[in-house]
Amino acid sequence: MSRRPVTDDISALDGIVQVSRETAQRLESFVALLRKWQPAENLVSPKTMPDVWRRHVADSADLVRLFAEPGRWLDIGTGAGFPGLVVAIVGTPGTEVDLIESNVRKCAFLRAAIRETGAPATVHEGRVEALLPSWDSPVDRLIARAVAPLRRLLELTEPLMGRGVPAAFHKGEDFRTEIAEASQSYDFDLIEHPSRVGEGVILEIANLRRKPRQA
């Protein structure tokens, strides 16, 4: 698949999701706030800022293309709101997103962005491994982007995935190596969705089962 041309504006979403004028304005407000906070807080890699709409916004919105039904999403390690806050902004009406982030300053940015955009999202400050074992709110789908290798992601999300919650994880070009490593410890159902933004994939994972330890 050829790479999409670099387009640093809302048109980066063409072919991924259609957004209303109101939603486009909310996304533009979010990106403007990101640009304002970025110099002081280093919310995303500086080298990606010239291409922020494609590298971060469109890549995150690709989840909504694949999973358009409304529901309650849980983004673990959301960082500056990718993918979870974008999903909250562009998702089907009725979509709500919980955002887990351990970095205090990034949590402050996320709360400011939610106020600015009116996104149906809630910030949970803390580490995933501390919050998920006792998580008792509804979750229809787990999501994560640029958080950890797949094997570690499955370890972190096992408290919920082990109860039947499915997941969708962004992964880069080396995703097959990560799948092989994760498969040493877990069995799971897997669908690979090629990204419409870059060279990676979105891995749709369900029915997670930990393999018995070898004697």
Question: Is 172 a member of any domain?
Answer: yes
Which range of residues forms the domain containing residue 21?
10-210
Q: Helix-strand-coil percent breakdown of the chain, rounded to 5?
A: 45, 20, 35
Give CA–CA dist 141/73, Å, rounded: 5
pLDDT at 54: 94
Give CA–CA dist 156/62, Å, rounded: 23
Question: Is 126 a member of any domain?
Answer: yes
Question: Is 215 a member of any domain?
Answer: no
Could you say which DSSP state residue 13 is in?
G
Question: Is 205 a member of any domain?
Answer: yes
In the block, tokens 């803390």 appear at 126
pLDDT at 77: 94
Per-residue pLDDT of the chain (215 residues; tens, 9 = 90+): 444 445 589 999 999 999 999 999 999 999 999 999 999 999 999 999 999 999 999 999 999 999 999 999 999 999 999 999 999 999 999 999 999 999 999 999 999 999 999 999 999 999 999 999 999 999 999 999 989 999 999 999 999 999 999 999 999 989 999 999 999 999 999 999 999 988 899 999 999 999 987 65
Question: Is 4 a member of any domain?
Answer: no
- Number of domains composing the chain: 1
| pTM exceeds 0.75 | yes
Question: Is 201 a member of any domain?
Answer: yes
Give CA–CA dist 213/185, Å, rounded: 8
Question: Is 87 a member of any domain?
Answer: yes
Question: Is 1 a member of any domain?
Answer: no
CA proximity to 158, closest of 172, 146, 170, 148: 148
CATH number at residue 206: 3.40.50.150
pLDDT at 214: 66
Residues forming beta bridges with residue 52, ordered by sequence position: none
pLDDT at 215: 55
